[in-house]
Structure 1
Amino acid sequence: MATWKDLVAFIRTEYRVVEETRDEINIYVEFEDERSQLIWLSREVLDGREEWVQIASPFAMAGQVNLNAVLKEIGETTVVGGAAIMGEHVVLRHSLPLSNLDINEFVDPLALLAGTVDSLEETFSGGDAF
């Protein structure tokens, strides 16, 4: 996989797309227990020349959770991703360079992030809103 266009073509065949723009594609990752997780995938250009994909997923509203507890939980249990506030949402996000990305280097972190964020959502939001 070498470009954003290539990645988007793959995503369209493998995931349920819910929204798409030129530099962003939003998907749902669905789990066997009928829960699902919204994932925001966006094209980022580093230093005006190198394409990256940012994988981000919301799990709580920033004003409705104890951010100290969230960060402590992520620090103790999370392998992929880091916490951020994007708009009003607390998200877990991870970024990958596209230039020499193998498909498993995208799929595996995506699955791990989705599962982790679904667990964080259940713990801190008490439901399946995202």
Structure 2
Amino acid sequence: MATWDELAEYVRTEYDIVSETAGEIRLLYTFDEDSDRTQVMIVAREELDQKYEWVQIATPIGLARNVDLHALLQAIGHTTISGGAAIIGEHVVIRHSLPLINLDIHEFTDPLTLIAGAADELESEFFGGDDY
């Protein structure tokens, strides 16, 4: 896989799509067929230096104003192997970015799974539920 279009086609065939716009796909990640646990994941095309295509995987976990950011970042530092936290708008998100050139599908699916799992756990611990 080497382009956004190829990755987007893969995502469309493998995941439940919530919405899609140019350069962004929102999907519903389901943890287990027998569970109601899900996570909304945002897969977005990014461009570095106006020539390199990247993909960013992100998911909101809660409103920044509703959390002790120091404690949250400390937990992420001790438990999260893939991705990091950011505030986008009013939301805390967990995100990870990858270059698309020569991207192996496992280099996408493994971080997607890790980010979804970390977000689900952090939502529960710091925000008291699964709102995203």
Q: Which category describes the TM-score, using the shorter chain as reference length?
A: over 0.9
The one-letter code of the counterpart of 1:76 is: H
For residue 25 of structure 1, what is the aligned residue in structure 2? 25
The aligned runs of 1:63-78 (5 Å cut-off) are 63-78=65-80
Residue 84 of structure 2 corresponds to residue 91 of structure 1: no
The one-letter code of the counterpart of 1:8 is: A
Cα RMSD of the aligned pairs, angstroms, is 0.6
Paired with 1:65 and 1:89, the residues of 2 have a C-alpha distance of 10
The aligned runs of 1:1-130 (5 Å cut-off) are 1-32=1-32, 33-130=35-132
Paired with 2:36 and 2:117, the residues of 1 have a C-alpha distance of 13
Paired with 1:123 and 1:59, the residues of 2 have a C-alpha distance of 10
Residue 116 of structure 1: how far off its partner (Å): 0.7
Aligned residue for 2:96, secondary structure, equals: strand
User: Structure 2: where are the runs of 5+ without partners?
Assistant: none
Aligned residue for 1:129, secondary structure, equals: coil
Residue 93 of structure 1: how far off its partner (Å): 0.4
Residue 31 of structure 1: how far off its partner (Å): 1.5
Residue 60 of structure 1: how far off its partner (Å): 1.2
The one-letter code of the counterpart of 2:19 is: E
Residue 119 of structure 1: how far off its partner (Å): 0.5
- TM-score, reference length from structure 1: 0.98
Identity percentage over the alignment? 55
User: What are the Cα deviations for residues 6-55 of structure 1, in whole angstroms up to 9, with x where unaligned?
Assistant: 00000001001001011100001012231100111110000000000000
Residue 125 of structure 1: how far off its partner (Å): 1.0
- TM-score, reference length from structure 2: 0.96
User: Structure 1: where are the runs of 5+ without partners?
Assistant: none
Paired with 1:108 and 1:76, the residues of 2 have a C-alpha distance of 19
The one-letter code of the counterpart of 1:10 is: Y
